[in-house]
Amino acid sequence: MTRTFMALALAGSLLTSPLMAQGDTLIRPEDGDWPLYARDHGGQRFVPLDDINTGNVGQLQRAWTYRLRPEGGGSILAGTVPVVVGGIMYMPLGDAVVALEAHTGRELWRHQVSGATIRRSVTYWPGDGQRGARLFYGKANSIVALNAADGSLATEFGGDGEMEFEGTPYAYPPSIFRNVLVIGALTPEIPVGPSGNSRAFDARTGAKLWEFDVVPQPGQLGHETWLDEGWRGRPGNNMWVWYTTADVETGLIFMTLGSPGPNYWGGDRPGDNLFGNSVVAVDAETGAYRWHFQTIHHDLWDWDLPAPPTLVDVQKDGRTIPALALTGKPGLMYILDRRTGEPVHGVNEHIVAAADVPGEWYSPTQPIPVKPAPLSRMWWNPTDVVTESDTTPEHVAACRALLDSYGGTFFNAGPFTPFFLRREGDPPRASINLPHNGGSNWGGSAADPRSGTIFINTTESGSIGWIEERDPSGDYGRGTAGSNQPYDRGSLTGPGAYASFAASFTAPDGTRATLPCIRPPWGRLIAVDANTGEINWAVPLGTTPELGPDKQDTGSNNTFGGPMVTAGGLVFIGATSDSVMRAFDAQTGQLVWSEQLDYAAMTIPMSYRGADGRQYIAVFATGSAFGPPVRGADGRPANNEALITWALPE
């Protein structure tokens, strides 16, 4: 078995066998529709409409808005993308699913939900000739089917429209390919717990079709990568994101899997730990394994794979290679042959540093692409600390004080820097690992299939701290309660892995701000030529208004959101912490349009053609549940989170 990729002979046989015919159930988007979370099965988010283009985008006007939750709680809908089919928009509101006229926002029907929070999206299925179109949404342990025509329960599915499933919960909408609904699993971050297996069900009846063992069991491929029986009862390796991508020609779906539990200590799971941190290609109809590619061996950083890969054909050496682009939290992009998982532009196993945590197993190497170059900084040294020319004297002083509190330096060995043990009472002994929580997160990338260009947003910062003996009363983060692991992450701020090299300060006007301590840019939008692996352009994405007009073009946190690209030569993106919606020239990276929003659009924009013939741009602007609410003049939360649409003047 090679460390970078492994493909079975099954992959070859798959390519020579015809895909099972399924009638008209395969979703092939009409030009004006947006029927899937990322528009098409390949996840390209490419809209073949050019009514709105680089020449007229400056004329965009608000068309209509839809207030999401006037009663409050709209921030839970961050990450939500509606679907539009035939001029009708379908979307979740947390406690309801609604259908709207996509050119007016007029509500057509509403399906009320109780006992669950419905978000991210709804899944559209076009029907099969005998059954009409359906919508699906997920509860913790069930999938509900609605008739798309009126929002009533599709009673033929499951038991009266709801199918309960056993095993690990998954509260997001299922992904769909032909008649197959695929779900992941939401597992705790502990050493022993529920399975993270992916599962699939029939969209017509709800019958279970297959289950994929994300931690290989005895006799299965990859089981040998779990030493000392570390596989037993192991949670994690789960697909926690809310959509998958698929290849319509080969019938493969591509599952992006997270890291095994627990996150930051793996002494009881020595080995590479397949299929952790891997993209795994399986047959959509049967769940049969075809190939995998592992991006991290024995993850100790919680750098799981969030975003599904984006499919794009590559022109190289006079031939067309069906490929995919895979991104994740380390800020690397792997361009792989989607038939086999083999790297298109090369991947090398680099020797990486090890630390000293008792009983830990450190992988001696990690896979790093030859091309593209890293999309985020992966090295740090003290000269990379902000200066007064970058930000302000107050911020620089706060950053220097933070660095001094850790002894004046951090350990850094470049990519995959480990964290060392610090015992109670010892002086600080901290590592800094770049990037911090991305890189790129679930927002993922978009692709223009005409040029083979991939567009990706990244965030820059540094994760700081160490490994410590676990305090049984300490809060080490979501999903870790009750863990019996002996070691976990910590820092001067206390238990947990969330300390970053960022400092809070008070400006002369009395306002408080927290900004990264590495030199800008802190966020970028990047265009990669998948044919060559070269970066075409990279521009700062986002601003820091607290720094004033002369210094604010720093780029900003854009962890939660991603881009969309159109045939009009435009890349649209929200995502940034400054709550601005932007459009960039896809060829040059030049900013060509922007609008300040009341709430950050921490999701993916979308575009469609309404029944009136106009092209619309739309995005959920909800802000984040992690930040303070937007308040009105009375001091109360405004609750004005909204779906916003734009169009050219009529």
pLDDT in tens, 196-218: 999 999 999 999 999 999 999 99
Q: What is the dihedral of CA 474, 480, 483, 485, to 10 degrees?
A: -80
Q: From CA 180, how far away is CA 178, in angstroms rounded?
A: 6
Q: From CA 411, how far away is CA 15, in angstroms rounded?
A: 47
Instruction: Give the pLDDT band of residue 556 (cuts 50, 70, 90).
Output: very high
Q: What percent of the chain has pLDDT over 90?
A: 89
Q: Specify which residues 491 forms β-bridges with.
A: 494
Report the side by side order of strands in the sheet with 289-294.
6-7, 289-294, 278-283, 252-256, 245-247
Answer yes or no: is pLDDT of 540 > 60. Answer: yes
Answer yes or no: is pLDDT of 10 > 70. Answer: no
Q: Specify which residues 328 forms β-bridges with.
A: none
Mean pLDDT of 616-642: 89
Looking at residue 12, the DSSP 8-state letter turns out to be: H
Answer yes or no: is pLDDT of 549 > 50. Answer: yes
Instruction: Give the pLDDT band of residue 171 (cuts 50, 70, 90).
Output: very high
Q: Specify which residues 3 forms β-bridges with.
A: none
The pLDDT of residue 625? 67
Mean pLDDT of 378-405: 95
Answer yes or no: is pLDDT of 469 > 50. Answer: yes
Mean pLDDT of 612-635: 89
Query: 535 burial class (0-12, 13-18, 19+ CB within 10 angstroms)?
Result: middle
Mean pLDDT of 81-108: 98
The pLDDT of residue 15? 35
Mean pLDDT of 75-96: 97
Mean pLDDT of 8-14: 36
Q: Could you count the other beta carbons within 10 Å of the beta carbon of residue 54?
A: 20
Least confident of 20-24, 69-73, 261-265: 20-24
Answer yes or no: is pLDDT of 12 > 80. Answer: no
CA distances (Å), origin 374, targets 70, 378, 438 = 43, 8, 12
The pLDDT of residue 18? 31
The pLDDT of residue 24? 59
The pTM (predicted TM-score) of the whole model is: 0.95
Whether 158 and 136 have beta carbons less than 8 Å apart is answered as: no
The pLDDT of residue 635? 87
Q: From CA 283, how far away is CA 27, in angstroms rounded?
A: 17
The pLDDT of residue 283? 98
Instruction: Give the pLDDT band of residue 19 (cuts 50, 70, 90).
Output: very low
Whether 275 and 197 have beta carbons less than 8 Å apart is answered as: no
Instruction: Give the chain's mean pLDDT.
Output: 94
Mean pLDDT of 105-111: 98
Whether 39 and 84 have beta carbons less than 8 Å apart is answered as: no
Answer yes or no: is pLDDT of 144 > 60. Answer: yes
Peptide bond before 372: cis, by omega within 30 degrees of 0? yes
The pLDDT of residue 567? 98
Instruction: Give the pLDDT band of residue 26 (cuts 50, 70, 90).
Output: confident
